[in-house]
Amino acid sequence: MQARVIEEFGEPAVFETREIETPEPGPGEVRIAVAASSVNPVDYKIRRGDLPPFAPEFPAVLGCDVAGTVDAVGDGVTAFEPGDEVYGMPGGVTGSPGALAEYMVADAEAIAPAPESLSLTEAAALPVVALTAWEMLIDRASVDSEDDVLVYGGSGGVGHVGVQIVSAAGARVVATGSTEEKREIAKELGADATVDYTETSVEEYVESHTDGAGFDVVFDPIGDDHLQTAFEAVRPYGRVVTTESSSTQELEAMHLNALSLDVVLVILPILRDAWHARLGEELREIADLVDDGDLAPLLDERRHGFSEVEEAHRRLEEGDALGKIVLENDL
C-alpha cells in the first residue's frame, strides 16, 4: 500500500511517499480502509522528535486520528464487520502505525462506529480532541449543571469541543480567545461569555464572571502561563484539569486554596497497549452527543490531501488554522 512516512525527525519536508506492506489484522483487531485523518499538535511534535516516549519506529506512519471503513477483521472480533464506518485514535505512536496510509490496523475495542450525522472527513476531526475534552471534563472534573467552568482556548482543537461538552452538561461556560473572531466562534459553540485574556487580568475576569468567587472548574488545554493563571482563576476547593504539565509551576496557590489538579494523557492506552475499551466506550458517547446535535467539529476552511501533509503540519505549527485541519486520503 501507499503511505506517507518519515525516516527521520525534522521539518515537515521529512515526509515521503512509500510503498509499504499492507498490514494484516491480528486477533482482536480490524483493518480500516482509511478515508481521512486530521492534524493534532501531537503529530507535529512527534515528527519534530519532541516526544521521545511516543516516537514510532522508522519508517514511521504518523497520524493519530482516523475515520474510514472496516475492510477486514481479525479472529475474535464480533463488534465490527467489513463495510462498517468507524472512527478513533488507534495509532500514530510507538508500536502502532498511524493513519497516513491506505490502510491502518486498530484494536477493535479502541474504535467506535462513526457518528451517523457526519461525513468520514468530518468524523476524522474529532477523536483526539474529543476524547481529550471528554476525559478532562467528564472523567476527571465531573462537570455538572451547577458548575461555572472557564475554558482556555475556546476555539482551539481541544477547547472548541470543551465548550460544547460543558454547554451540553448544562453548566455555565466562560471561554477565552485571543481575537474577536475566536471569541465569536466560542460564543456560537455555546459559551455564555468570553474573555480576551490578552487585555483582561485574571482578577478582572474572575471578578466580572464569578463576583470574585472563582470558577468551579478551569479547563486548560494549553499549559505554561495558562496553568499558573488557572490556579488563580479557580475557587477554593476547585478543580483544574490540564493537558500540559511539562512546564515548571509554583504550586503554593494550589496548597493555599486546597485545589485539585488533573493531568490527562489521552494517548496512554495506545502507548501502553492497555485500557482500549475506555476509548471505544467514550467514542460511542461522543458519537451520541454529535448525533443528538450537541457537538460538531469546527473545521478549518481549507482541505488537504495526505499528499499535502507537509503543508497541513506547517499551518498548524504556525497557528495558521481556525478549526481542525482535516486530511483526506488521496493516496
Residue 131 beta carbon to ligand NAP: minimum distance, rounded to whole angstroms: 8
User: Residue 129: how many CA atoms within 13 Å on its side-chain side?
Assistant: 33
Q: Is 156 in the site for ligand NAP (CB under 6 A)?
A: yes
* 36/95 Cα distance (integer angstroms): 21
C-alpha closest to that of 1 among 21, 16, 15? 21
The interface region with ligand NAP, picked from 19-27, 94-102, 260-268, 270-278 by CB under 6 A, is 260-268
Q: Is 37 in the site for ligand NAP (CB under 6 A)?
A: no
Rg (CA), the chain: 20
Is residue 147 within 8 A of residue 171, CB to CB? The reply is yes
Q: Is 52 in the site for ligand NAP (CB under 6 A)?
A: no
* 177/96 Cα distance (integer angstroms): 35
Q: Is 244 in the site for ligand NAP (CB under 6 A)?
A: yes
The interface region with ligand NAP, picked from 96-104, 107-115, 177-185, 277-285 by CB under 6 A, is 177-185
C-alpha closest to that of 91 among 61, 59, 46, 69? 61
User: Residue 200: how many CA atoms within 13 Å on its side-chain side?
Assistant: 18
Q: Is 40 in the site for ligand NAP (CB under 6 A)?
A: yes
Q: Is 191 in the site for ligand NAP (CB under 6 A)?
A: no
Q: Is 38 in the site for ligand NAP (CB under 6 A)?
A: no
Q: Is 132 in the site for ligand NAP (CB under 6 A)?
A: yes
Q: Is 150 in the site for ligand NAP (CB under 6 A)?
A: no
Q: Is 265 in the site for ligand NAP (CB under 6 A)?
A: yes
* 69/32 Cα distance (integer angstroms): 5
Residue 317 beta carbon to ligand NAP: minimum distance, rounded to whole angstroms: 9
Helix H or strand E segment including 259: none
Q: Is 165 in the site for ligand NAP (CB under 6 A)?
A: no
C-alpha closest to that of 329 among 68, 40, 61? 68
* 119/161 Cα distance (integer angstroms): 18
In this complex, which beta carbon is closest to ligand NAP, that of residue 3 or of residue 126? 126
Q: Is 42 in the site for ligand NAP (CB under 6 A)?
A: yes
**Selected binder of ligand NAP within 155, 164, 167, 229 (CB under 6 A):** 155
The interface region with ligand NAP, picked from 20-28, 65-73, 128-136, 297-305 by CB under 6 A, is 128-136
The beta-strand segments (E) located in 39-98 are 60-61, 66-73, 85-88
**Selected binder of ligand NAP within 264, 270, 279, 327 (CB under 6 A):** 264
Q: Is 228 in the site for ligand NAP (CB under 6 A)?
A: no
* 91/269 Cα distance (integer angstroms): 10
Residues that bind ligand NAP (CB under 6 A): 40-42, 128-129, 132, 153, 155-159, 176-178, 182, 221-222, 243-244, 264-266, 319
